[in-house]
Structure 1
Amino acid sequence: MNRRILPYGDHALLVELDDLDAVLALFRGLEASRPAGVVDVVPAARTIAVVVQPRILPLSVATAWIDGAEPLPAPPADIGAVELAVRYDGADLAEVARLTGLSEADVIAFHTGRPWRVAFGGFAPGFAYLVPDGDPLDVPRRSTPRTAVPPGAVGLAGAFSGVYPRSSPGGWQLIGTTDAVLWDETADPPALLRPGAVVRFREAT
């Protein structure tokens, strides 16, 4: 696994990796061996930002820690999964079926039939990019994004699924809705879905 560690200001380092699988494996390894002085470990599609308190953990020491950290495999998907009930009433469900060559029922079965893992956070507080266990669908974004997507909308884009935590513009293909609260500033932690968490979608009756 290629691992490039770069300075990222006075209080952080940026780790560049080959792909998302490498990011998730190293993220688990960093979280498991996290020393004092680490403020945050933030994964993205091909990078991990590590924010530190230099007085406690100098950047040179943090670099050595990151360089020596071992990637870890994902834990079993049935441990501590967050279940989200979804009404599969999305405006783009039929279009997703057409784009993927599946029936609408098959799209729903794909979405509910496997665990999803939180890869990293997104463009809004509480938005999580979810990747499936196993082969993903490749769902193109809408050619014309919506100016307002309602909170609780469940979408697909590329290999990812996600749930909009609040009303915002968006170009994901919407396949359903959930009543789950994705972001609550009064909660600890405020985000329901955090990197590394497992999510299972269930069709609401």
Structure 2
Amino acid sequence: PLRPGVDADAASPGLRPRQRPPSPSASPSPSRPAVVPVLTVTQADVPARVDLTAAGPVDWVHWGLLGADQAVRKRNGSGAIRDEGGRGRRESYSNNPEAYAWRDGAPVGSAGGTTSGLYTCGRGNGFTLAVTADGEPRTVRLYAGLWMARGRLDLRLSTGGPTSTLRMEDPHTQHTAEFTIRFQAPRGAKLLVNWTVEESFGDCGNVGVQAVALR
């Protein structure tokens, strides 16, 4: 029996639950900062000779050398550049004003300077390409042209965010350009590229593509 005035906890210290010091709260694992979408494009003249091996250390694709149905790609490239098709019948040609060379291609291992490419005629027809993002800044160089047409280049990211549109026109003859696209998007997202005939000024006003390079 307890004596009056004696605290029960003091009388039986062994029965008192042992106080544990508070455990430190687990610090949250550092999370990657969200990738802010970036998309810009500039236009310049195409060099007389384009070295795709140098321009595309990550990946590159060239069209036209093997006809309309097969492209040459960077051997052991990342595969980030994808040909997504587009409207219109594709035709190959071999009188492009600039030449393209490479030393690391497949199924054609090297080329000293081919002037081949692809084109498609008619308003609303064109090419659709995609480039996979990896979360880091990437630079895409699109080598494209037109004949007696106004071409429209539409760029967007699959995750939304900034978009861009450029137009190029030559109602009388041929014109080519190097479009330099800089973009950044979360890993797995895509840069979507559409190059189409906005207006045809002849029987076969067309847009064409020669190559795409990624670094």
TM-score range, shorter chain: under 0.3
Query: Going by fraction, where is helix more abundant, 1 or 2?
Result: 1
Normalising by the residue count of structure 2, what TM-score does the alignment of the two structures yield? 0.26
Higher strand share: 2
Structure 1 length as normaliser, TM-score?
0.27
